[in-house]
Amino acid sequence: MGAERLLGATKDGEKIAVEIKTFLAPSTISEFHTAVGQFINYRIALEDDDPERTLYLAVPLDIYKRFFKYSFIQTVIQRNQIPLLVYDTEKKEIAQWIK
């Protein structure tokens, strides 16, 4: 899960795509802005190419706990209707799905 990429899969019979972000750069807010912009662009592209697929933004658990708790970040996520997949880098598993 170290590389940032876009994956296609299914979850409980639902077609999904997952944009995986690592947030390894020094500026978390800059990484967040980039991630949101890319997410919006990918979602628009999927609407044309594969409209049945739901796009999720995957973020590391430590970043989610430390950074995604802020009111501003939550507002951006809610207003842009960004479903999250929170992954645990140590256990190498999905910790939470947030739709």
Average pLDDT, the chain: 91
- Residues 73-90 have a mean pLDDT of 97
Q: What pTM was estimated for this model as a whole?
A: 0.89
Return the H-helix or E-strand segment holding 6. strand 5-11
Strand order in the sheet with 5-11: 5-11, 14-20, 54-60, 84-88, 93-98
Whether 92 shows a pLDDT value over 60: the answer reads yes
pLDDT (0 to 100) of residue 5 = 65
- Residues 42-66 have a mean pLDDT of 95
Whether 2 shows a pLDDT value over 50: the answer reads no
Q: Which domains does the chain have, with CATH numbers?
A: 5-98 (3.40.1350.10)
Say which DSSP state 21 is in. Answer: -
**Token pair 């077609």 is at which residue?**
15
